Chains A and B, each alone.
Chain A
Amino acid sequence: MSPVLSVDDLHTEIAVNDGAVHAVDGVSFTVNRGELLGLVGESGCGKTMTALSIMRLLPGGGRITGGSVVLGDVDLTALSERDVRAVRGKRIGMVFQDPMTSLNPTIPIGRQVAEPLKLHTDLAGRSLTDRVTEMLNLVGLPQPARRLSAYPHELSGGMRQRVMIARALVCDPELLIADEPTTALDVTIQQQILELIDDLRTRLGMAVILVTHDLGVIAGRADRVAVMYAGRIVETTETHRLFGNPRHPYTEALFEALPENAAGTGERLYSIPGMPPDLVNPPVGCRFAARCRYAEDRCRAEHPPLRGEVAGHDYACFLPVGSAESGPITSLANPRRAVVTESGARHAAADAGTPLLSVTGLVKDFPVTAGAVLRRHVGAVSAVADVSFSVTGGETFGLVGESGCGKTTIGRLVVGMERLDAGTIWIDGTNVATLRGKARREHQRETHLIFQDAYAALNPRMRVGAIVAEPLAIHGIGNRASRLSRVRDVLAEVGLPSGAIQRYPHEFSGGQRQRIGLARALALQPKLIVADEPVSALDVSIQAQILNLMSDLQQRHGLTYVFISHDLSVVRYLSTTIGVMYLGKLVEIGPAGAVYGRPRHPYTRGLIDTIPVADPWARRTGDDGVRGELPSAIRPPSGCRFRTRCPLAQDICAEQEPPLRSFGMDGHQAACHFPLAVSTDPAADRFAPNASA
C-alpha cells in the first residue's frame, strides 16, 4: 500500500534580519491510510513549520528550499500556488490550536463549515446544507441543524474545536493535520476532542498527523511517533516501542523530565540542561550534543544519520540509549545527571508547623452587568463559594481544577488583588481580609503571586535589576546600594548571573523569565508564595528546571506555596496537600497521595482518568473521565454543583448540597453524597509512587 503522504528530505527556511532560520532541516516521514502519526517536540523544534510546509502555508519570509512532499502521486512542493489551493481544504484538512481565532466571529458556523464545499465542490442549496449538518453531527455537535446559524461566540471552546474539525473534514480529505488541537482546551474537553479525532480517522479511513508538545497526548492515540529536535527528526518508530524503549538520549530525557514519573517520591526531576540551539547558525554534528549527557567528541563533529538496528525504529544517534557504548556506566560518571532523593526533609516540615494560611468561608462573586451606560446588575458569577482550607508553614498546597473553577480567584484573594465578599483569610495570625489601605499594603510584603506568563508579568521597559528591586522600592526598604546587593543575591539564588541586572526581559528565554519572576518574589523574603500556573507555558524540560528550583527554594527558606495548576501531574509532584475545585467549590481536599491514590469524589476520579498519561499501556476506556462541559457559574446547578456531569448523581444531589466529610484520620475530606469506595484496581493507582514504571 502506498502511503497517503510521504515527506522526503524536506528543508524549510525562514528569512530573518540576520540570515535564515533553518526551521525544518531534512525531515522525512510517511503516513499511511488510517494511520495516526504523532509529531512531538518542544517549542521551536520545527514541528509546526513541518505541518505548514506540507500545506504550503508558510509565514512571510518562509520558503521550502529542498525535498519533496508527495500526496498520493502529486509533489506539492512543485505545484503552482493556484494548484495548491485546489489541494488545501480538499485533500488536506487542517485544525489549528485556538478554535476561537480560527473561526470568523462574524459568520455563522454553518456557513464557515460550508466554505470548503463551496470552494471545492458543486454542492449548493439543500444538498450543501445537508452535507454540513451531516458533518456537524459526525463531530458530535448537539442539534446540528439548529446550530447552523449560531455564531462562534455562542459555542464553548470544545464545541468550537468540533466545528473546526468538521470544517477540516467536510471535503473528505485524505489527510488531516491537527496542530496542537487540544492545547487551548481544558483537560476534560481535551480527552473528548482527541477521542473524536481518533474515532473519525478509523471511520473515515484518513491519515492524521497530530502535532503536539505533549507526550501524554501522543501515547494514547498515535500509531507511530516522530520526535523532532532543532528542525530534525531524531527518533521515529511505533508508539509502544518509543515509550518502551527510547533510544535517542533526547527522547529518554523528555520522559525523565515528566513530573508524573517522580510523583510522590519527591525525587528531583531530570531536567535537560541548556536550551535548544540557534537555528540561524545550527551547530555541526548532532544538534542535541550540547545538552546530551552521553555526548562524545564524535557527536560534536559529525551528524549522526537517522537509522536503527531493527526495521521500523530509527534514531539519529551514535550512542543510543541502552547500547554498549552508552549505558549506565557513562551516565553514572556524568555529574549532570543529578538525581537526589530528598523526600525526608520535605515531609518532616509538614507535620511540624501551625497553619500559616487559613481560609474560612471564602466567597467571591463577580457582578455581571448589562448595558453600556447604566450598567444594570443582571446577576453574579459565583467564582468562589464558601471555600475553607488551611496550609501549614513550609508545605505546598496544590489547587487543581478546570479553567473557570475559581482557583485563580482564590490565589488573587489570598495576595490581596481582589476584595472578598465574605469569609476570612488568616495569614500568620492576621486576618488580612479586615485590613485596609496602608496596613493592607504593608501586609502584602508577606505574600507574593507568581504569574503564569512570566513575560507578561515583567514590565518590558524596565531592566531586570529594577524589576527585581521593585518590591523593595515600593516598601521603601534600603538604599540604592543595599537594594542592588539584594538583587544580586536573589538572582544568584535562582541561578541567574548578575549580568542579568542590566538586561531587559525580552532578552531571556521563557524559563529564565520565570526565574526572574521567582527572584522578584524572593526579594522581600515573603512567607507565602502563591504560584498561579507557573510552569504551564513552559516546555517539559524547562518546566522540570523550574519545579526543581521551586522545591530547592522551599527547602532553603522554609517557604510555603499555594500551587495553582490545571495540570494534575505537576500538582501531584510538588504538593503535600491537594484541594480539588469545581465551579467555585472545594470538592475534595487531603494529603496528595490520598487524593490521587484513593479519590473519593467522582470529579477527582474523572479528572485523574482524563489526564493524558505518557504511557501507551495505560488503561483507556471511553467511559472514564468527565463528560460534557462546565455549566455556567452565573446560575450554578442547585445542590451539588457537579451533579450535571456526575455519573452517580441522584435526586438528593439536586436538593441538598453535600458537606465536606472526612475519610480517615489524615485530613482527607470530600463533598459528595455518594463517595467512591477505595479502588482496589492497581491500574487506577498509577499516580501512586512506583506505579508508573
Chain B
Amino acid sequence: MTINPPLPEHAAHVSDAIAAPIEPDAPPKSMWRLGLQVFVANRLAIIGLVVVVLFLLFCFVGPLVHHTEQLRTDLAQANQPPSSAHILGTDSVGYDEFGRLMVGGQSSLEIGMAAAVMATLVGTLWGAIAGYLGGAVDAVMMRVVDTLLAIPGLFLLLLLVAIFTPSTGLLIVVIAFGAWLTPARLVRGETLSLRTREYVQAARMMGGGNRRAILKHITPNAIGTIVVNATFQVADAILIVASLSFLGLGVPPPHADWGNMLSDGTAFTQNGYWWMILPPGLAIVLVVVAFNFLGDALRDAFEVRLRRR
C-alpha cells in the first residue's frame, strides 16, 4: 500500500464524490409531482375530484347558462312535476327546482368550504402552538378546546343562530367556531411527536426560534393530517348547513341552500313530489362522499412523499 504514488490533495475525496452521484439526468421531481402521481393512480380520488368539479361548475357557471327566476315567487307555477319548461319541476312557491339546485348549491359549497378553511387555519395554529410550547401554555389552550367540546355542537349552533340573524357570513363563522376544535386536537397530537424530531431540534440547535420551528418545520410536516382533515371538514360543514337549514335556521329566503330545499320538500312527502326531495338530497350525498374520497386519496398522496427509498 505504501508504494502507491501520492495523489493530488483532494484526489481521493473527489473520487468519493464521484462515487455517489445522484442521477444527474433525471429532472428533480417535486414532491407535489410525486404526490400527484399517487393521487392520479387512485380511481376513487379521480371520481371524487370529477364530482366536486362538476358540482362547482353546475352551481357557479350553471346559472349563467340556465336562466331561471329565483327571486320572485310564482304561486301559479307551484308544485309542477318535471316538464320541458322546468326540468326538475317547481317547488311549493313556484321556483324552478333545477335552477334552485344551482343557487342553493352556491350557498352550501361556499359556506362549507369557507368554514372548513377557517376552522383548519385557526385549529392548525392553535394546535401547533399548544403542542410545540407545551407545559402551562398547552394545558390552558387545550382546556379551552375541551370546554368548547363539552358543549353540544348543535345546541351551540342553534343558540348562536337564534341570537344573530342568519346570513352566509354568520353561518361560516358559526360553523367554523364549532369545527376548529377537531383540527386543533389533531394537529396538537401530531406536533407532540413532530417537535421531538431531529430536524426540529436541529433548527433549535442552530439558534432558530419558536416561530420558525412552528411555521417551517412543524406545520409543513403535519400537512397530510391538516389537508385530509380539511376535506372532511368541508363535508361536515355542508351537512351542518343542511341540518341548520332543515331546522329553519339556514340562510333566509329568498336565498336557498340544499338543506332548506330538502326541508321544504319533506312537507310534500305524502304527495309524492319526489322532485323536491331527491335532487337536493342526492346533491348533498354526492358532494359529501366526493369530498371524503378526496380526503382519503390525499392522505395516501401525502404519505408516499415521505416514504424512504
Contacts and interface: CB of A to CB of B under 8 A. Distances in A.
A508 interface: yes
A512 B4 contact: no
B20 A417 contact: no
Given A441-B209, A515-B20, A524-B206, 6 more contacts: A272-B19, A339-B12, A453-B198, A471-B206, A509-B20, A545-B16
B290 to A, nearest CB: 26
6 contacts: A291-B19, A456-B198, A459-B217, A460-B305, A495-B17, A548-B13
Interface of B: 1-7, 10-22, 24, 28-29, 31, 197-199, 201-209, 212, 216-217, 220-221, 223, 305-309
Contact of A504 (B15, B31, B205, B206): B31
B221 A335 contact: no
Contacts of B3: 328, 332
B16 A457 contact: no
B19 A340 contact: no
A271 B12 CA distance: 9
A416 B7 contact: no
A564 to B, nearest CB: 14
Contact of B212 (A341, A458, A461, A474): A474
A47 interface: no
Interface stretch (A176-184, A443-451, A571-579): A443-451
A475 interface: yes
B297 to A, nearest CB: 16
Contact of B207 (A341, A445, A494, A542): A445
Contacts of A511: 20
Interface of A: 267-268, 271-275, 291, 328, 332, 335-341, 415-417, 441-442, 444-445, 448-449, 451, 453, 455-462, 470-471, 474-475, 494-497, 499-500, 502-504, 506-509, 511-512, 515, 520, 524, 542, 545, 548-549, 552
A508 B29 CA distance: 12
A444 B202 CA distance: 11
A599 B240 CA distance: 74
A441 B16 CA distance: 35
Contacts of B201: 417, 457
Contacts of B5: 332
Contacts of A338: 4, 7, 11-12, 15
Contacts of A459: 199, 216-217, 220-221
B203 A273 contact: no
Contacts of A341: 2
A471 B203 CA distance: 8
A430 to B, nearest CB: 15
A9 B17 CA distance: 36
A552 B22 contact: no
Contacts of A508: 22
A54 B28 CA distance: 39
A273 B19 contact: yes
A475 B22 contact: no
Contacts of A494: 17
B61 to A, nearest CB: 35
A340 B12 CA distance: 8
Given A441-B207, A474-B206, A507-B309, A549 B16 contact: yes
Given A444-B205, A459-B217, A474-B207, A495 B4 contact: no
Contacts of B1: 267, 339
- Among B5, B7, B199, B308, residue most surrounded by chain A Cβ atoms (within 10 Å): B199
Contact of B24 (A271, A449, A497, A542): A497
Given A417-B201, A506-B306, A549-B13, A495 B221 contact: no
Contacts of A332: 3-5
B7 A512 contact: no
B31 A449 contact: no
Given A495-B20, A511-B20, A335 B15 contact: yes
A369 to B, nearest CB: 13
